[in-house]
Chain A
Amino acid sequence: MLVIHCPYCGARPELEFAYAGQAHLTRASDPSAQTDAELAAFLYERVNVKGIHAERWRHVRGCAKFFNALRDTTTDQFVVTYKSGLPRP
């Protein structure tokens, strides 16, 4: 089980958290102006990177806040966690 550092609460076991997918996906301000391909890319295409992955987590059984993390998908080691809204470190 992973130990995850919530930026608000500190180190907690993985069971307190919910994974919430790739981070820094920005919804278009005017979705109806998007092409089908752009909307499909936003909804479905994912980097699925083998290496450092920027992703969202939610401390759902704790403070319930969302935050972002960089994690190496080849080792599952967290590089850093940071608050939502901040740019990727």
Chain B
Amino acid sequence: MIRSRFSAWALLRAGFARQQNWGPQWRRAEPKQSYDAVIVGGGGHGLATAYYLARLHGMRNIAVLEKGWIGGGNTGRNTTVIRSNYLFQESSTLYDHSVKLWEVLSEDLNYNVMYSPRGVLALAHTVHDVQVLQRHIHANRCNGIDNEWLTPQQVKEFCPPANTGSNIRYPIMGGALQRRGGTARHDAVAWGYARAADALGVDIVENCEVTGMRRDANGAISAVETTRGVIASPRVGVVAAGHSSVVMKLADVALPIESFPLQALVSEPVKPVFPCVVMSNSIHAYISQSDKGELVIGAGTDAYTSYTQRGALHISTHTLEAVCELFPMFRRMRMLRNWGGIVDVTPDRSPIIAKTPVPGLFVNCGWGTGGFKATPGSGHVFAHTIANNAPHPINAAFTIERFREGRLIDEAAAAAVAH
């Protein structure tokens, strides 16, 4: 397969053939009988893990197993928001590690992931909101993360569509702005990592569901059973998002995780009208505009655990009511699609990126409602964990054992959606 390097020159040259000659960007790999490491889950986090394993740790005889198609799960369903202004040092270090990788990712992968640091603005509507957001700002600044306070007037200047008047139920009392935050193209992230990993020799195997895990006499992982045969591997990294509990149960590892449907919607595309990302925790509006012109709106999770990938209508209605109140000009916008994804939520709303009690088995899960932003950093530190059989300093605190030891990283207030 000829896989040219993307450049302005390549684009110009392809233009002479009316852009018709672009071939597949990665191989359709058949699974081999054994690998040095297997990644279960071909979303952004799994593909990033494989890429960094091959690129930084020299592990090229590895595979990514995906039960559907790559990027078809939460990677293709999220609202693509990137930020790092989390409260605790462990979290902000992890998420800022990601933001720093986002800044150079397109060049690193030679694939335009359309990272757009247009600013993420969190709105405050009550005295409590003001205090919580200012606490975040102070904590972030102590940890070297940019985050600044905007008055209602500054909110209006930064985001003109916002209704900063007093004629709404919960008027805007200010906001916290992280200017380095923004969005990226979610599909491009999966495709870019897949293409780059494939070029380094990683096998990306789609339509390959893991149905069992085999262990040797010492209890260590020896192979995974899949719908496409048994694949031997001494190291298995599970990055299965909403299905983490299901996959890990195959190896008898219980997780402190519950899976909930989380919804999102997009409107019909319109010209550029919305300059930033706005999230309002307390009345639950969460909105940005994609480069295609669609408004991208994030709704909340259902109250109950489920694997249906749907979500209830009253949940999205609630969000649309908040959006219409905060941004009156969107009242006549028509929504094009809505959908649900299954998110894996931990009790402290922080991820688990760690070794497990089973030797050779590693897990990266629990990203809950906000995993997309962490894709590059998550893959980077998880690859380090798998390659060295020990965590990177950045993910050392994100163990499973923290729930037994009481070392929770309680970010329940940090995410943009109500849990």
Contact = CB atoms under 8 A, between A and B. Distances in A.
Contacts, number: 60
Q: Which of A36, A44, A46, A49 neighbours the largest number of chain B CB atoms within 10 Å of its CB?
A: A44
Contact of A19 (B259, B303, B405): B303
Given A40-B403, A44-B403, A48-B258, A71 B304 contact: yes
Contacts of B306: 73, 76
Interface string A1-30: 110000000000011001101000000000
A45 B253 CA distance: 10
B312 A2 contact: yes
A59 to B, nearest CB: 13
B314 interface: yes
A14 B303 CA distance: 10
Interface of B: 243, 245-246, 254-259, 303-308, 310, 312-314, 347, 403-405
- By Cβ-Cβ distance, the 7 closest A-B pairs, closest first, are A44-B256, A48-B245, A40-B404, A19-B303, A19-B304, A44-B403, A45-B254
B314 A1 contact: yes
B308 A53 contact: no
B255 A48 contact: yes
24 contacts: A1-B313, A1-B314, A19-B303, A19-B304, A36-B404, A40-B403, A40-B404, A43-B347, A43-B403, A44-B256, A45-B254, A45-B255, A48-B255, A48-B259, A48-B305, A49-B245, A73-B259, A73-B307, A73-B308, A74-B307, A75-B308, A76-B304, A76-B306, A76-B310
Contacts of A47: 245
A50 B246 contact: yes
B69 to A, nearest CB: 20
A74 to B, nearest CB: 5
A46 B312 CA distance: 23
Contacts of A53: 305
Contact of B305 (A14, A37, A40, A73): A73
Contact of A37 (B255, B313, B404): B404
Interface residues of A, number: 27
Contacts of B303: 18-19
B312 A14 contact: yes
Given A45-B256, A48-B258, A74-B307, 18 more contacts: A15-B314, A36-B405, A40-B404, A43-B347, A44-B256, A45-B254, A46-B257, A48-B255, A48-B257, A50-B307, A55-B304, A71-B304, A73-B259, A73-B306, A73-B307, A73-B308, A76-B304, A76-B308
Contacts of A45: 254-256
Contacts of B314: 1, 14-15
A41 interface: yes
A73 B312 CA distance: 14
A65 to B, nearest CB: 17
B258 A46 contact: yes
A53 B404 CA distance: 25
Nearest to B408: A44
Q: Which of B254, B304, B403 neighbours the largest number of chain A CB atoms within 10 Å of its CB?
A: B304
Contacts of B404: 36-37, 39-40
A73 B307 CA distance: 6
Contacts of A50: 243, 245-246, 307
B309 to A, nearest CB: 10
A68 B404 CA distance: 28
A1 B312 contact: yes
A44 to B, nearest CB: 4
Contact of B256 (A46, A74, A76): A46
B53 to A, nearest CB: 28
A53 B308 CA distance: 13
A39 B404 CA distance: 8
Nearest to B405: A36
A15 B405 CA distance: 37
A53 B258 CA distance: 12
A40 B357 CA distance: 15
